[in-house]
Structure formats: C-alpha cells, structure tokens
Chain A
C-alpha cells in the first residue's frame, strides 16, 4: 500500500543550526512533492514544490531535494530561527491532482 513517512519524532535544534527534515514514500510515483508549514490550530501554508525531474530547489533559507530512486525528499532550513518552529508537512501529488500528506514533523528551534 502507499505510504508516506516523515521523521517520526519531533526535532529540536539550536538557533543558527540547519534543520533537516525527511520525507520517505513507498508504492508511489508522484509527479511532484510539496512542503507545507502548519502552525498550531491553523491551516497549512505552502512553502516549496519540487518536480520529479528536479534534484534540488531553493527559496531563501529553504532547500528541498528530491531523489526518486531513494524515494526520498529532504527539507533543509539553514540558519534556523525560533520563528521557524512549526510542524512541516510533505505532500505527494500526482498528475491526477490529488495530494497525499505525511503526518508531519514538529520542529522546535531553541534560542
């Protein structure tokens, strides 16, 4: 069956360090992968998309990689700040237009 797995445990890091979040999937052939940020009690907010034929995408302090052989995406936040503390969701999207979300990884950046 199709499965999406993100870091199962919460991630705690020190301010200024790089946070790395993982999204692994099985039995899936996504056209592209998206990353969202969700703050408590609020709806997710889109951050980045990476397509199946792309290896890496960057946006300011964010970097996403996509390895379709390993079936894995890595999401990096460099020079992390306490304001980056949130839950981060990966979503796999097919060309049929549906998205399947992972359970999310909660990141806490300590000052």
Chain B
C-alpha cells in the first residue's frame, strides 16, 4: 500500500463549486504539506502543518483552506473554485529528524480541472 494517498486522483468541477481534496499517510509523520503545480513550473506551497494543532499559510493560500483532522489526515478545500485553480495538487509528508535528510514524501497527485 502507498504511504501517502490522495483522493480523488482526478476531478472536474465547475466554477463556484466547493471541493475537498483529501490526503492520508501511513508513515507516522507529523508534518504535512499541500502544494500545487502548474505546467512547466515547480511546486508552490499552499498550506503546511507541523502537527495536529498547527496550521500555517504557504506562499499561495488565498482561495484555499485546510483541515488537519488527525496526524494521518490533511484535507485541502476550495470554497468556491475558479478556473485558475486548475492544476496538479500534491500532498507531502516529512519527519523532523535533524540528523536525517528531512525529505518530503509525496502523494500521487490530484489533477483538478475547474471549468
């Protein structure tokens, strides 16, 4: 089973609709992240959470909200979707290990299209 899963994998929605993207992890990591990726561009951080009670805005949080329901679950919501939110969305996790690589483990991505 995959360590980081995202649902749905693909979603087409209409402008103005509310949509939720879900992320679950079995790695036992405290830190979770949501990124979006647009064609030919790198990853931009939307929100991140270092533990269940900690939520922080990233560089492009406007139009998005998140919920950390448990250590293993981190959801991203678009309250009123607009076409320029069409993108590939990735969830990632990491662990705080000062001596380690602090690598992020990414989910498979959710391809969202807003018409």
Chain A residues near B (Cβ < 8 Å): 4, 32, 34, 41-46, 49, 89, 91, 93, 97-104
Contacts and interface: CB of A to CB of B under 8 A. Distances in A.
B106 A45 contact: yes
Contact of A46 (B31, B58, B96, B103): B103
B15 interface: no
Contacts of A93: 102
22 contacts: A34-B103, A43-B90, A43-B107, A44-B90, A44-B106, A49-B101, A49-B103, A91-B104, A97-B31, A97-B48, A97-B94, A97-B96, A97-B102, A98-B45, A98-B58, A99-B45, A99-B104, A101-B43, A103-B41, A103-B42, A104-B41, A104-B42
Contacts, number: 56
Contact of A42 (B103, B105, B108): B108
A34 B109 contact: no
Interface residues of B, number: 28
B106 A103 contact: no
Which 4 pairs show the lowest CB-CB distances between chains A and B? A43-B106, A46-B103, A101-B42, A103-B42
Main secondary structure of the interface of A (DSSP, over half): strand
B102 A49 contact: yes
Interface in B1-38: 4, 31, 35
A41 B87 CA distance: 11
